[in-house]
Homo-oligomer: A and B are copies of this chain.
Amino acid sequence: MAELIAALGGDLVGASDLSISRIASLAEADAQTIAFLANPRYQAQLASTQAACVIVAPAMAEAAAARASGAACIVTPDPYLYFARLTQWWTKRFRPSAPARIHPSAVIDPAAVLGPEVDIGPLAVIEAGARIEAGARIGPHCVVERQAVIGAGTRLAPHVTIGHDCSIGARCLIHSGTVIGADGFGFAPTQGRFEKIEQLGAVRIGDDVEIGANTCIDRGALGDTVIEEGVKIDNLVQIAHNVHVGAHSALAGCSGVAGSSKIGKHCTLAGAANLVGHIEICDHVHVMGATVITRSITKPGIYSGMYPFDEHAVWEKNAASLRQLNVLRTRIRALEKQNSEK
């Protein structure tokens, strides 16, 4: 505990000689557990939790201290942030990375540039001209194509593909199966056929970006696709060519952004939300789940467009009426006219 407080701060109240062996929620905690109370909704669990130590905000300090004898708490202004840092501290302490090594089965072109302390996993492929900066870790089976750059301290999980000429910033984390720098979807229709537009741009990703599994970020057609610093992208997200995502925005699972659209800073797209192409949304816009944004947004705020679900039979009737909604509007207008004429 002393080490923890030394590393992360906070005021320890109660016994300091606890032996903590896991982190859990209040409800699942036992006597070897450290837990946290961030959401006031769970305050009632404070009385019943078995946790040896609970991370709480000052307002909860008294209630937390009044628990069973021997129970401790850590008082800190933002318990959720403290919890996040605790998970980081925990991982570093109990699941340290193996020492960096270049696995002999990796296929590294002699013209690739490897910085100090880089780790190259088994069967990774690093092509000519690629640059892996200091301390970066390339997982098993990753492919880093020619002239691509992987920033310092960045980690690629297994099976990541980084296309030629793309660059990834420092301290990024990219999960398995993600493809950065496939061709954008660009064709010129001609006489009933499609003529390919070669995609000549690349993808530029800033520092401290995290990207989930099986996500795709396509290279630009002429200019680059850009993901600014601090952006967080979940699994199975589609980012088309020439998209620009502003710093510290977050895109949840199965969301998608069509070509050339621009997302401001500090925006969020909830799960399965979509933006059509060639639009722009300003900073601090929050798009709810399964919502399709079809035109530019210039005013910060929350935007929604999700069909409300219902029991199938009820939905069926309402959906049938929806297909005649404009007719219903006309009928209301007619009624209003009749009434006003009387």
Contact = CB atoms under 8 A, between A and B. Distances in A.
Interface in A193-239: 193-200, 210, 212-216, 218, 221-223, 230, 232, 234-236, 238
A309 B319 contact: no
A112 interface: no
B192 A210 contact: no
B235 A185 contact: yes
> In the assembly, how many copies of this chain are there?
3
A17 interface: no
B312 A319 contact: no
A52 B107 CA distance: 43
Which of A121, A289, A336 is most buried by chain B, counting CB atoms within 10 A of its CB?
A: A289
B332 A325 contact: no
B125 A140 contact: yes
A74 interface: no
A240 interface: yes
Contact of A223 (B24, B200, B218): B24
A81 to B, nearest CB: 5
Contacts of A101: none
Contact of A222 (B24, B88, B236, B324): B24
A291 interface: yes
B157 A182 contact: yes
A8 to B, nearest CB: 12
Contacts of A173: 183, 196
Interface in A263-288: 266, 271-272, 274, 276, 287-288
A267 B12 CA distance: 46
A318 B309 contact: no
Interface residues of A, number: 122
Contact of A323 (B78, B105, B193, B308): B308
A216 B236 contact: yes
A252 B325 CA distance: 30
A25 B335 CA distance: 54
A179 B271 contact: no
Contact of A125 (B122, B213, B323, B336): B122
A240 B157 CA distance: 18
A262 interface: no
A302 B312 contact: yes
A42 interface: no
A322 B308 contact: yes
A141 interface: yes
Contacts of A215: 214
17 contacts: A81-B190, A84-B196, A88-B196, A182-B213, A183-B210, A183-B212, A194-B250, A216-B235, A234-B240, A235-B240, A253-B256, A258-B289, A302-B311, A303-B312, A306-B319, A325-B325, A335-B336
Interface of A: 23-25, 28, 78, 80-81, 83-85, 87-88, 90-91, 103, 105, 107, 121-123, 125, 139-141, 143, 145, 157-159, 161, 163, 173, 175-177, 179, 182-183, 185, 187-188, 190, 192-200, 210, 212-216, 218, 221-223, 230, 232, 234-236, 238, 240, 248, 250, 252-254, 256, 258, 266, 271-272, 274, 276, 287-294, 301-312, 314-326, 328-329, 331-332, 335-336, 338-339, 342
